[in-house]
Structure 1
Amino acid sequence: MLPRPFASALIWAALVLAAAPARAAPVDTLDLAVPQVPAAVVVEGRQRLLYELHLTNFGAAPLRLQAVSVLDAGSGAVLAGWRGEALAARGRIVGARDAALGDALQPGQRAVVFLELDLPAPMPKALRHRVEFSSAAAAPGPADTGRAEGAQVEGGQVEGGQVAPRPAAALPLAAPLRGGPWAAVYAPHWPRGHRRVFYALDGRARLPGRYAIDFVRVDAQGRTARGDADLAANALGYGEPVLAVADAVVAAARDGIGESARVSAHPRHDFDRAPGNYVALALADGRYAVYEHLRPGSLSVRAGERVRRGQVIGELGFTGDSTGPHLHFHVADAPAPLAGEGVGYAFEAFGLLGHYPGAAGLGERPWQARADDVAAQRRNELPESNAVIEFAR
């Protein structure tokens, strides 16, 4: 008898195969888990959940994932679903180089499906997940048609991974920067974007950048720099004051990491130095606001100090792993930049100017103007992916 896990449900799925009557039907096991309970954020008036569904093959045979659906646990209604290429683009198999969700999930392997879905109000009290899969008795042939050459493959499905979403955080945040325009750069589908990068530190894998935004200053023509864009100091946002988003206590701070004068000469950094110079603020509700890549020598606070919302705590810079000067901002459940789980947040006010579709053209051409039916003034929201916004001056 297997012990009942306290963090996830172990789901046993019977696969009924077309076989001779005397042959026993094989049984495979698939574990469905949602390790981090999601909380809603509001994006341009829509309730949004961001979370991950972990799928682990506990059976003796490889499985091929076919579809994933999110259900209202109460009514059974399907709220969202993905299959084929749409599903393959939503995740990967952990530890397998270049392994996509369309590849066979070998015994003992885990797949992570990154889910983002907009839900109507009121939010369902609980969600369940349905996974459709096939049992592949052998590895795919060279053509990788989705059916192993010479192998018997039958379909099956399993439901589980039930989770009750938490309400949105009650404490909205003040602006981390002044004025604008600022491009709020992030995209959930980027394979190496903040949303999809786990760090396995101190015996636990965490996703600190689940809701992270890179703020890049742009001008009316969409340029990110004046003159030679390879000079870090020419970036429009370089040296801009970085502000405390709430009355808080400085939980951690680091200064002293240098930066390259030229963007093209910037070296790679190990994971410990990847955030560069940073500040983490302990908010009153138990969350931590984390600011990364700050300019060397610009920090005006240190651990243990109390700060007031709007207070200057440093300047935007180019330290750590960075493709150009910007402010990395996220909120997490721990102050160390890479050792916390990213949690949702909202800014109490900002102006929406427009969007970059997929961040294409950032620094090269103007953004697309805001649609007329979308309000310019946003309150208690998270900016949409690659939105162009402005804060109060």
Structure 2
Amino acid sequence: MMLRRSSASVLALAAAAFASACAAAPVDTLDLAVPQTPAPVAVEGRERLLYELHLTNFGAAPLHLDGVSVLDADSGAALAAWRGDALAARGRVIGAQNAALDGALRPGERAVLYLEIDLPAKAPRALRHKVEFSAPGAEPGQVEGAQLAPRAAAALQLGPPLRGGPWAAVYAPQWPRGHRRVFYALDGRARLPGRYAIDFVRVDADGRTARGDADLAKNALGYGEPVLAVADGVIAAARDGIGESERVSQRQRHDFDRAPGNYLALALGDGRYALYEHLRPGSLKVRQGERVRRGQPLAELGFTGDSTGPHLHFHVADAPVPLAGEGVAFGFEAFDVLGHYPGAQGLGERPWQARAAELAGERRDELPESNAVIEFVR
């Protein structure tokens, strides 16, 4: 009997010691994944990667994300790092009522970090990711993973989708509901079609976007402007017949399928498709299956679908249906940089700001910087 009690005591002590050791050890229950391997795109002379890091908590305890770093996989050198508010601003929790990444990642939750990295002159062969985290009753931990080798940059550079300018290239990676952060789940898979999307808004020398009553859609400076084929190719998809509101203030929300409004998809011949959205009703000049030439007018800029005002939504994806493809990198063969709007503040209200002398003027084989004001070169 004494022996049994002693054995039970020993087992209890061992279990307590084991539990204490587990509580003090780092909790490594995070899954790291990069579902879409990025390809670099040139932006104002810098090679940039845009991609998403998915973090899923497979443990039974909430984890607080303390820091995320992107490392050179060979040297271990940090290429970029985020902590605190900077980290919270880059992430969203999928499906959570409070989607902001400013607290703990609860068991079973997934966070998506939207990353943009300007690569050094000597680009690394591969990247990996380090995530630092903490949990109640445990020592802080860290995990490294999600190694990736960037894909080669796309060789095909595109012609202008519009004539002349000035055009404000409106997008910003940090906008919570901007193109960069909106996933669409179709056919059992979530995709991010607008990863590199740009809304082109026509402005004048004083920064105005309309003449006269700006609430009238037809008064927008870009309304009715010809939309051009950015390359030789075949029209892979086309939709017309969706009407538009007369006034911007009368715009309505549309269902999932009609959000892009009237659109065209141009097959570029390399597995990519150029998507043009919000086109003017009745303006489409081409049909599905028709072969077109670079610079050929395809339709006109309009105000259909879910649009905050007349503009051309343009992006490139790996599928011809606007919401069913993954957004992929692209660049324009040539355009002039005239200026920019910091954070798009003042668009339509005041002139844009001048760009630094070394960045102004003609840019070649690049994607315009966020909220740059440009003029297309034919």
**TM-score category, normalised to shorter length:** over 0.9
Compute the displacement of 1:21 (Å): 6.8
Compute the displacement of 1:120 (Å): 1.4
Q: Does 1:376 align with 2:373?
A: no
Give secondary structure in 1 for the equivalent of 2:323.
Answer: coil
Kindly tell me: are residues 374 and 22 of structure 1, through their superposed partners in 2, closer, same or farther at Cα, counting changes over 3 Å?
A: closer
The letter of the residue matching 1:25 is: C
Give secondary structure in 1 for the equivalent of 2:365.
Answer: coil
Compute the displacement of 1:344 (Å): 0.3
The equivalences for 1:357-376 within 5 A come to: 357-376=342-361
The letter of the residue matching 1:372 is: A
Q: Does 1:311 align with 2:290?
A: no
The equivalences for 1:232-381 within 5 A come to: 232-381=217-366
CA contact (8 A) 1:196 1:210 kept: yes
1:288-340 Cα deviation digits (max 9, x unpaired): 00000000000011111101000000000000000000000000010100010
The letter of the residue matching 1:73 is: A
Following the alignment from structure 1 to structure 2, what is the Cα–Cα distance between the partners of residues 21 and 302? 70
Compute the displacement of 1:247 (Å): 0.4
Following the alignment from structure 1 to structure 2, what is the Cα–Cα distance between the partners of residues 41 and 336? 23
The equivalences for 1:106-185 within 5 A come to: 106-136=106-136, 152-185=137-170
Following the alignment from structure 1 to structure 2, what is the Cα–Cα distance between the partners of residues 276 and 208? 15
CA contact (8 A) 2:280 2:304 kept: yes
Following the alignment from structure 1 to structure 2, what is the Cα–Cα distance between the partners of residues 125 and 83? 25
1:333-385 Cα deviation digits (max 9, x unpaired): 10100010000000000000000000000000000012122241000000000
**Runs of at least 4 residues of structure 1 off by over 4 A?**
19-22
The letter of the residue matching 1:87 is: L
Flag the structure with larger Rg. 2
Following the alignment from structure 2 to structure 1, what is the Cα–Cα distance between the partners of residues 57 and 360? 46
Following the alignment from structure 1 to structure 2, what is the Cα–Cα distance between the partners of residues 366 and 375? 16
Compute the displacement of 1:107 (Å): 1.0
Compute the displacement of 1:23 (Å): 2.6
Give secondary structure in 1 for the equivalent of 2:218.
Answer: helix
Give secondary structure in 2 for the equivalent of 1:52.
Answer: strand
Compute the displacement of 1:154 (Å): 2.7
1:93-138 Cα deviation digits (max 9, x unpaired): 10002232221111111000000010113321110000000013xx
With normalisation by structure 2, the TM-score equals 0.93
Q: Which runs of 5+ in 1 are unaligned?
A: 1-18, 137-151
The equivalences for 1:88-99 within 5 A come to: 88-99=88-99
CA contact (8 A) 2:125 2:149 kept: yes
Q: Which residue of 2 aligns with 1:8?
A: none
CA contact (8 A) 1:90 1:114 kept: yes
CA contact (8 A) 1:28 1:60 kept: no
CA contact (8 A) 2:28 2:142 kept: no
User: Percent identity over the alignment?
Assistant: 80
Compute the displacement of 1:20 (Å): 5.7
Following the alignment from structure 1 to structure 2, what is the Cα–Cα distance between the partners of residues 52 and 192? 15
Q: Which residue of 2 aligns with 1:81?
A: 81
Q: Which runs of 5+ in 2 are unaligned?
A: 1-15
Q: Which residue of 2 aligns with 1:67?
A: 67
Compute the displacement of 1:63 (Å): 0.6
The letter of the residue matching 2:313 is: H
With normalisation by structure 1, the TM-score equals 0.90
Following the alignment from structure 1 to structure 2, what is the Cα–Cα distance between the partners of residues 274 and 21? 56
Following the alignment from structure 2 to structure 1, what is the Cα–Cα distance between the partners of residues 100 and 133? 14
Give secondary structure in 2 for the equivalent of 1:114.
Answer: strand
